[in-house]
Each structure stands twice: as structure tokens, then as C-alpha cells.
Amino acid sequence: MFSFGLIGRRAAMAGALGLSFISIDVQAQSAHPFAGMSGVWSGKGTISFESGAREAIRCRATYAVREDGNALQQILRCASDSYKIELTSNVVANGGKLSGTWSESTRNVSGDVQGTRRVAGFRSS
């Protein structure tokens, strides 16, 4: 059986942290870890349910970086015929530490984001 609560939490965390694992040496070495990440991304794919059913899904993410390059706001929206996710996150870099919050409005789940900045990207904790 498909569990929206479980998938919502997993999808929300994946969305909130997903781009944090991209290895971007130039950004990680910069004094401004989120510099250059502003913009909009969209794409499509497939979502698989526990029942084995699959559906096409489309996503759009908007990334806004604070002027000093040390804070990132993400808005992620994905939808299929029977599934929807609306995630927002706010992450701030302070020295080598990352912290912030995320929330997913369609399932009313939220949490904290914590991580560590590395030379080759970011790492969650």
C-alpha cells in the first residue's frame, strides 16, 4: 500500500537536501557557498508507488540566493495524476555549518536541515 506520509517525508527531505549533495568545487571553495545557484529548474520523470504502479511526474524548482551568497531558499513543486508535493526550504551557511528548515505543505510535515560544508560540496548531518 502507498503511504503518502512516508513518501511525503522522504520526498521532502530529498528535495530539501537533494542539491546539497551535488559536488560543485567552485561553489564549495567560494566564501559564498550558494553563489551561482539562483534560478529555475524544471523536468519530468516517473514516480513508482509501493503497489508497483507508475505515473509520469513533472517538477519545477526555484532557487533564490541571498545577495551575500550565504543563504538559499528553495521552492519545489511536483505533480502527477494522483500525487502532489509542495516543498519549501531555507538554508543558511555560517562558516562551515549549514542549518535551516524545510516544510511540505500538502502533507503538513516539516523539519530541520543541518549539514557541513566540504571542499567538494555539502554533507548532511
Asked whether the beta carbons of 93 and 117 are under 8 A apart, the reply is yes
Of the chain, the percentage scoring pLDDT greater than 90 comes to 59
pLDDT digits (tens, 9 = 90+) for 67-116: 999 999 999 999 999 989 999 999 999 988 999 999 999 999 999 999 98
Between CA 64 and CA 36 the distance in angstroms is 10
All domains in the chain, ordered by first residue: 4-124 (2.40.128)
Signed CA dihedral, 102, 77, 15, 11: sign only: positive
Per the document, the length of the chain is 125
DSSP state of 21: G
Asked whether the beta carbons of 64 and 56 are under 8 A apart, the reply is no
pLDDT of res. 35: 84
pLDDT digits (tens, 9 = 90+) for 15-26: 544 444 433 333
Between CA 92 and CA 65 the distance in angstroms is 10
